[in-house]
Structure 1
Amino acid sequence: MDDTFMQQFINAGQTTVSSLLLAHFHELGITNDEFLVYLELKSFYDAGNHFPDMATIAQRLRLSSTQVYQIIHRMIQKKILTIDTTQDKQGRSQDQYDFALMYRKLATYLSQQNRQVVEQKSSDQRQALFEQIETEFGRPLSPIEYETIAAWLDQDHYQADVIGLALREAVLNQAYSLKYMDRILLSWERKHLTTKQQIQREQEKRQQRQPSSGAAAQSSTEDIPQIPMYNWAEPNDDDKQ
């Protein structure tokens, strides 16, 4: 490459396009021709010309001025382009192309997509939780039990992984009932333990506070049944039924 070309390349400037827009302009209802017109208008805008001549755009795209006018008209109808009128420092009116509506449509689309992903993930977690409880209980859940678990998620706003920890505690205590799990969840709630990480840290602290047992202590208690380490609730024997 010679110096002349490099100087021309630099002087021509750069047109920046969001990769998000490039990836999703079809989802916004923008055709290829409309996107090409957007790129041309954007290149002029970046160079400081906010309202380039339509004939210039047509020449660069190898289209007629009428075709470019029709494309711009469609973009205005689709609410992805507006023509705004402003006044300069001398009070003279001047027009400019504005793509703010298109960017808002892109933001709305991406927000909806993200929300759908979150909702799908939540639905998958809910179904996995139902299946996990049924597996540990060794039986299908009743309709009332489904409603109870749904209420934990939707009304009490317990996280699915927190309910999973409560299930683990119930299984360790051989108490296969939602009533037992509910008492565990309420116990954690009273302690302001609302996330899996908080509960696990509290369990680790609880374990560290337990006195270490030497060989003598072990031999003196070897006939005592082992109690699960994380016995957060103290349900009645009826809860284990």
Structure 2
Amino acid sequence: MDEFIQRYVQAGQTSVANYLLDHFREVGMTTDQLLVFLQLRRYMDQGTKLPDADEMAAHLGWDKQKVYQLLHEMISHKLMTITTVTGADGQKQDAYDFRLLTEKLSQLAAQTTQQAAKAPVSNDRSAVFNQIETEFGRPLSPLEMESITQWLDQDHYRPELIQLALKEAVLSQAYSLKYMDRILLSWERKNLKTAAQVQREKERQEPRHTAKPTTNGQPDGGIPDVPIFKLTDN
């Protein structure tokens, strides 16, 4: 036991912000990318600025190519960059830089503060991501996360409106963000910005779809139902 405690202490610890653990998906980071980030932080805290992908793959139990792919995704989605730094010995070396990720988290914190003053807690951003993943029955891809973030931050769709569009998509068995986007665009063209406005519009449209009055049990001007028999029936 004493030997284990000694090895445990010597291995050191990696410090990770809880805010990142709470909101990594909302800035476009997947769970696999988070695991790579944790490995990177581990090596960087130990002084290795550009950790070896083979070693990280061994710790994660993955193929090296998967690690390379995830690193490329994190760079292309502006979660990190590779910069050149000067070491204590005066030598220049490449290093992973996570300032872009910190900026995204900072922007998210500011947006969340603004939304908290305007919207109820039940309309939290994270609830949108969680509900879509639950209904789709799978994790969201980085591109899908980026699309949802754009709905919230650029298009300024309210979370309740996105959740209502999700409900419409599920009822139509269309598990696609493109389908949801078409619904949201149609509501935007009609200047419907809240779930209550959408509901009122649906109620206003319902009388148009109501069946016409019937005469003698048959729809006005319609053709009566005729039973169909098989010719082979006796």
TM-score by length of 1: 0.48
TM-score by length of 2: 0.49
Relative contact order, higher structure (CA 8 A, sep 6+): 2
